[in-house]
Amino acid sequence: MRHKGDIFQNSGKANEVPLVMYIDMNSYFASCEQQRHPELRDKPLGVLTYDSPNAAVIAASLEAKKFGIKSGMRLGDCKQLCPELITVTTHPSWYRQIHVDVMAILRNYCDDVIPKSIDEAVMNFNSYHLVYTDLSAIANKIKAHIAAKYDYLKCSIGIAPNSFLAKVGTELQKPDGLIVINPANIDSYLATMKLTDLPGIAKANERRLLMIGIRNPVEMRHSSPALLRKAFGGVVGDYWHRRLNFAEVDMYSRAENRTMSATRTLSRVQSQNRQVLDSMLISLCTRLEQRMVKSELFCKELSFSIRYKDGTSWDTAIKLSEPRRDSMEMVSYIKERITDFEQARKLQPLFNEHVTNLTVAIASFMNGKVMQYSLFDNRMKKDTVRKVMYDIKDVYEQNNIVRKGCELIIPNVMKDAVGFGSVKDMIVKQNGEVKNRHLLEEDKPGVRRMAVLKKPEPPRQTEPDYNDIPQNEEWEGVPLFHGLHQTQPDPLPKKVWNGR
Q: Which residues lie closer than 8 Å to 435 by C-beta, 6 or more apart?
A: 394, 397, 426, 427, 428, 429
Helix (H), strand (E) at residue 148: helix 135-149
Question: Given the complex with Mg ion, which of 25 and 186 has the nearer CB atom?
Answer: 25
Instruction: Compute the 3-state secondary structure of the chain and give helix, strand, coil in percent, each to the nearest 5.
Output: 40, 20, 45
Task: Determine the interface stretch with Mg ion among 17-25, 275-283, 340-348, 431-439 (rule: CB under 5 A).
Answer: 17-25
* Residue 457: closest CA among 265, 264, 270: 270
Of 116-124, 307-315, 348-356, 371-379, the window that binds Mg ion (rule: CB under 5 A) is: 116-124
We find the least distance from the C-beta atom of residue 278 to Mg ion, in angstroms, to be 35
Q: Which is nearer to Mg ion, 25 or 121 (CB)?
A: 25
Closest Cα to residue 6, out of 236, 262, 254? 254
Closer to Mg ion at the Cβ: 28 or 125?
28
Say whether the peptide bond before residue 161 is cis (omega within 30 degrees of 0). Answer: no
Position 119 contacts Mg ion (CB under 5 A)? yes
Looking at the DSSP bridge assignments, the partners of residue 315 are 305
- Residue from 21, 24, 260, 414 binding Mg ion (CB under 5 A): 24
Provide, rounded to whole angstroms, the least separation between the CB of residue 100 and Mg ion: 16
Minimum Å gap between C-beta 155 and Mg ion is 8
Report the C-alpha gap between 500 and 496 in whole angstroms. 12
Q: How far is the CB of 418 from Mg ion (least distance, A)?
A: 13
Which residue's CB is nearer to Mg ion, number 24 or number 289? 24
Scanning 27-35, 68-76, 253-261, 267-275 for contacts with Mg ion by CB under 5 A, the matching segment is 27-35
Binding mask 204-233 for Mg ion (x = CB under 5 A): ------------------------------
User: Least CB distance from residue 114 to Mg ion, whole Å?
Assistant: 16
- Residues 60-99, one symbol each (x = binds Mg ion by CB under 5 A, - = not), give ----------------------------------------
Catalytic residues: 120
Length of the chain: 500
By CB under 5 A, is residue 112 in contact with Mg ion? Answer: no
Residue 456 CB neighbour total at 10 angstroms? 5
Phi, psi of 57, deg, nearest 5: -75, 120
| Residue 173: strand, helix, or coil | coil
**DSSP 8-class letter at 270:** H
User: Smallest distance, Å, CB 24 to Mg ion?
Assistant: 4
Cβ proximity of 139 and 48 under 8 Å: no
Residues 366-425 that bind Mg ion (CB under 5 A): none
Q: With respect to Mg ion, which residue has the nearer C-beta, 22 or 28? A: 28
Which residue's CB is nearer to Mg ion, number 119 or number 248?
119
Q: Using DSSP bridges, classify how beta strands 313-324 and 297-308 pair: parallel, antiparallel or unpaired.
A: antiparallel
Is 171 an interacting residue with respect to Mg ion (CB under 5 A)?
Answer: no
Q: In angstroms, give the least distance from the CB of 177 to Mg ion.
A: 11
Nearer to Mg ion, 15 or 35 (CB): 35
Number of residues lying near Mg ion (CB under 5 A): 4
Which residues lie closer than 8 Å to 327 by C-beta, 6 or more apart? 282, 285, 286, 288, 289, 404, 406
Minimum distance from residue 473 beta carbon to Mg ion (Å) = 17
Closest CA to 110 of 118, 121, 100: 121
Nearer to Mg ion, 470 or 479 (CB): 470
Crossing angle of the two packed helices 225-232 and 203-211, in degrees rounded to 10: 130
Contact region with Mg ion (CB under 5 A), list: 26-34, 374-382, 420-428, 460-468? 26-34
Measure the CA–CA gap between 378 and 383, rounded to whole angstroms.
9
Nearest to Mg ion of 32, 260 (CB atom): 32
Compute the least distance from the CB of residue 28 to Mg ion, in Å: 5
| Exposure class string for 129-168: b at 16+ Cβ within 10 A, else e | eeeeeebeebbeebbeebeeebebbbbbbbbbbbbbbbbb
CB 315 within 8 A of CB 490: yes
Q: Which positions lie near Mg ion, rule CB under 5 A?
A: 24-25, 28, 119
